[in-house]
Amino acid sequence: MYNIEELKIAWRLGSRGYSFRDVKQLLEDNDVIDMPLTISELFKNICNYYGVSPSMVRGKSRKIEYVKARVMFSYFACIEFKIPQNDVARCINKDRSSLVHYNYKVQNFLDIDDPETTRDVNNIREIVNSIHNVK
């Protein structure tokens, strides 16, 4: 019998193209499953971290909480996960050149050890890593 966490893993693996037989074998072998995070999962987790609505982050608002979520999403998607800039830009309804600016901005804050940026990057990295490694 499978527990709820194993069923969630099976569902996610199935939606990523794994066959029923492969999923069953992985669960029976108790293998550690290292699943890649999708761009939408990354976006949702960063929005949750900042406590903002994804639709507002995709909007044109310049409120600081939405801008922070956009900037960090761009940094993690482009720099940490190497997702193509065009895909990231499309996800947040921005131009690719905006992403270049966002990533440059985060890197500069990290270079000068800005405490808020460093804290946010470390916290988001921890959240993403806990989700990225499913078991």
DSSP string, 21-40: HHHHHHHHHT---BPPPPHH
Task: List Cβ neighbours of 83 (8 Å cut-off, separation of 6 or more).
Answer: 39, 77
pLDDT digits (tens, 9 = 90+) for 47-89: 999 999 999 989 888 998 999 999 999 999 888 888 888 888 9
Angle between helices 64-74 and 39-50 (to 10 degrees): 150
Contact 81, 46 (CB under 8 A): no
pLDDT in tens, 11-51: 666 666 667 777 666 666 655 455 567 788 889 999 999 99
- Domains in the chain with CATH codes: 1-33 (no CATH), 39-132 (1.10.1750.10)
Say whether 107 sits in a helix, a strand or coil: helix
State which amino acid sits at residue 5.
Answer: E
pTM above 0.85, yes or no: no
Q: Residue 93: left (phi > 0), alpha (psi -120 to 50), or beta?
A: left
Residue 33's alpha-carbon distances to 15, 24, 61, 72, 82, in angstroms, are 15, 12, 38, 26, 21
Token output for 119: 């804290």
In this structure, are residues 70 and 60 in contact, taking their beta carbons and an 8 Å threshold?
Answer: no
- pLDDT tens for residues 91-108? 899 998 999 999 999 999
